[in-house]
Structure 1
Amino acid sequence: MLWLWAPLAVAQPLHQQLDAGAQRAWVKGVSQERQAAAAALFKEGNGYYEKAVFLRAAELYRQALEQWDHPAIHYNLALALMDTGLKLELREHLEAAMRYGEAPLDQKMLEHARNLRVFVEKQLVRVEVSCEVSGASVTMDGRPLLTAPGHYEGWALPGSHVFVAAKKGYPPNERVRNPREGETLTLNIDGLYDDRELTRYRRIWAPWKSWAVVGAGVALAAGGGLLHLQGRDDLRSFDARATECGLLGCVPSSEFEDLRNRGRQFQKVAMGTYVAGGALIVTGAVLAYINRAEPYRLTPDEYEQDTHIALQIGTARRELLVTFRF
C-alpha cells in the first residue's frame, strides 16, 4: 500500500536549503566544513529525487546525515523512502524531521510529515515491552530491547516476532507473538521459569491400560496354576485308587477312568493358560515400556496458562468448600 503515496511524494515540494542559523539547536556543534559537505550531498540528492531516482537520492541523504543531523535532510530522506517499502526507517526519519516543529521546515511540510507518519503507523505494529525480573535481558528477533527492570516502546513490522528473556541460571524464556498491522503489541514479563517448571511428561495412553494387560496375564496364569493343581490331585487320586484296586484285585469302574482323564485334561488346559498368561504379561510389559513418560517442554506462555487454570480450579474448589460449610 505504501507505493500508492509515491506520486504524492513527488507532488510535495522538497526542502531545498538547509537552515544554518547560528542559534538553531540542530546547528550547534556542527562545523562549517561539515555543514558545507552535508549541503552539497543534500543538493545532489535533491537532483536525483527530482529525476525520480529515489534509491540514489536516499543514499546521498543518508551520507548527508552523517555530516549533519538536520531535520530537513530527514524530511527529504523520508520522501525518498516512500516507494521503497522501508516503513520502519521511513517512520524514524519522519519523527526526526518533526523534532523541532516548523522551524527547520514550514507549516505545509510539517503537516505533510504528520499525515504521512499517521499513514505509515497504521501499517506497522506498536511494541510495548516491560520486564520486572531484575538483571534479565530481553531481545526481539535477536535485537536487544532492555535490561530489567525496564520498559521499551518502539515499532515493528507486522508478522511473527520472537521475544527472549534471558538471565544467568535460567534457560532462554521464549515468547512468540504474531501482531497484525495497526495493532499494539503489549508484553509484560513478570517472571522467568527454569527447566523444572517448563518440563512436562506425557504418555501415549493411560498407564493403567498397560498394567491391566499385565494383570490379566497374571490372573490367567494363576488360573492355570489352579487347574494344574486340580489335575495333579485327580491324577494322584487315580494312582492311589489304582494301587488299592491292584492289591484287592477289583475291576476299575467308569468313574475311576474319568478321574484319570479329567486330571490329564486339567493339566493340558493349565499348560495353555500358562502360555497365554505369559504372552499377556510380556505384551503388557512391552506396552508399558512403549508408554513410558516422555518429557516435553512448555513455552513460558503455556506454563503461565497452566498455572492460571490451576489457580482458578483451586480457587473454585475453595469457594465450593466454603459454600458447603456455610
Structure 2
Amino acid sequence: MAAQEKLDLPDAKPKANAQGVTVVTQNIVLPTQTQNYEDVTPKAEAEKARALFTEANAKFEDRQLPEALELYQQAYAMWPHPRILFNMGVTMAMMSRPLEAANMFKIVLEYGPDPVEMHRYKEAQEKYLELMGTLSVLTMKCTQEGTKIYVDGGLLAMCPFQKSVTLTGGRHLVTANQDGFIPLSEDIFLPPGVVAEKSVQLNKFEQGIRYKTVERYSMKWPIIGAVAAAVLMGSGGYMMYSGRAQIDELQAEIEGIVA
C-alpha cells in the first residue's frame, strides 16, 4: 500500500479564525489504499450494470446530471466497482454536492489505482484535494457516558466516542444533552480546508443551581449591609422596621432556595 501523503492545498488562501473549535492542521491528508478490490459480481449482473453505466455516460455527456447520477447508482448497486464510484464523484461535484463527491473520491483512493487505472487515480486525488479545500474535518471527542452529541440537528453519536465528520466550511450548530445535565447549544465556525477538533463535557444541573444561588446571594448582601448601617446610625423607627422587613424577606428567600 502507498505511504500516506500529506499535501498543502494549492494556492491556499489565509484561513479565517475558527470559533468554538481547535484547529489541528490546515493541511489536507490524501486517503491511502486500505483495501484491495475483488470483483465477485456474477457476469450477468455485471453486464446489466455495464449497460446502465453506458447509458449514464450518455446522460452525463448531455449534461443531464440527475438522470446520469441515478443510473450510476443503479449500476453500482448491481456491480460495486470503483470505476462507477469515480463517475458518481465527478457527477456529484458538477451538481454542487461537495460532501458526497469528496466521499466518492475518498473510497476510490482507498481501493488504490489498479481498479480505475493510474490516470483516473491521480485525477481522483486532485479532485479530492480541490473539494476538501471547501470543506472541513471536525473531530468530536466526548468521554461522558450517555451524552448524545448532535451536529446541525443530526445525531453524531452517543458518548463515549471520538469521531470525525466532514462538513462544509462555515457555521454549524453543536448540541448535546443527557438527563440530569445542562444541555449544550453552541455555534461554531469552521474555516474551509482545516482539520479541527472539539471536546464536549456537560455540567450536572446541581452545579448550575449552585452557581445561580451564589450569584443571587452576592446581589442581596449589599442590601443587608445598607440596612445594618442605617440601623447603627440611628435613622429612626421606620428605617429599622423597613430594614427588618427586608432582612426577613431575604431570609425567607434564602431558606426557600436552600431547602
Q: Using a 3 Å threshold, how does the CA distance of structure 1 residues 36 and 95 change in structure 2: closer, same or farther?
A: same
Q: Using a 3 Å threshold, how does the CA distance of structure 1 residues 133 and 208 change in structure 2: closer, same or farther?
A: closer
Preserved contact between residue 173 and residue 185 of structure 2 (Cα < 8 Å):
no
Query: Take 2:249 and 2:110, find their aligned partners in 1: how far apart are those partners?
Result: 70
Greater per-residue strand proportion: 2
What SS does structure 2 have at the residue aligned with 1:178?
A: strand
Q: Using a 3 Å threshold, how does the CA distance of structure 1 residues 192 and 214 change in structure 2: closer, same or farther?
A: same
Shift of 1:101: 2.1
What SS does structure 2 have at the residue aligned with 1:161?
A: strand
Select 1:193's aligned residue among 186, 203, 206.
Answer: 203
Q: TM-score, normalised by structure 1?
A: 0.55
Which amino acid is the alignment partner of residue 95 of structure 2?
A: T
Who wins on radius of gyration, i.e. which is larger? 1
What SS does structure 2 have at the residue aligned with 1:214?
A: helix
Q: Does 1:105 align with 2:109?
A: no
Preserved contact between residue 41 and residue 64 of structure 1 (Cα < 8 Å):
yes
Greater per-residue helix proportion: 1
Query: Take 1:61 and 1:148, find their aligned partners in 2: how far apart are those partners?
Result: 37
Query: Take 1:98 and 1:44, find their aligned partners in 2: how far apart are those partners?
Result: 25
- For each residue in 1:105-132, what CA deviation from the matched residue of structure 2 results, as whole angstroms up to 9, or x when unmatched? 2222111110110111111111222333
Residue 173 of structure 2 corresponds to 161
Residue 281 of structure 1 corresponds to 243
Residue 221 of structure 2 corresponds to 208
Select 1:143's aligned residue among 154, 176, 179.
Answer: 154
Query: Take 1:89 and 1:137, find their aligned partners in 2: how far apart are those partners?
Result: 25
Preserved contact between residue 26 and residue 69 of structure 1 (Cα < 8 Å):
no
Q: Does 1:61 align with 2:67?
A: no
Residue 27 of structure 1 corresponds to 39
Q: Using a 3 Å threshold, how does the CA distance of structure 1 residues 283 and 119 change in structure 2: closer, same or farther?
A: farther
Shift of 1:49: 0.8
- For each residue in 1:171-227, what CA deviation from the matched residue of structure 2 results, as whole angstroms up to 9, or x when unmatched? 5455553222112221245x553111244213497323322443355456x454xxx
Name the stretch that deviates more: 139-148 or 150-159.
139-148
**Which structure has more RCO (C-alpha within 8 Å, separation ≥ 6)?**
2
Query: Take 2:168 and 2:206, find their aligned partners in 1: how far apart are those partners?
Result: 35
Name the stretch that deviates more: 61-70 or 42-51.
61-70
**How many residues align structurally?**
215
Give unpaired runs (5+ residues) of structure 2: 1-35
Q: Does 1:70 align with 2:92?
A: no
Shift of 1:136: 4.8
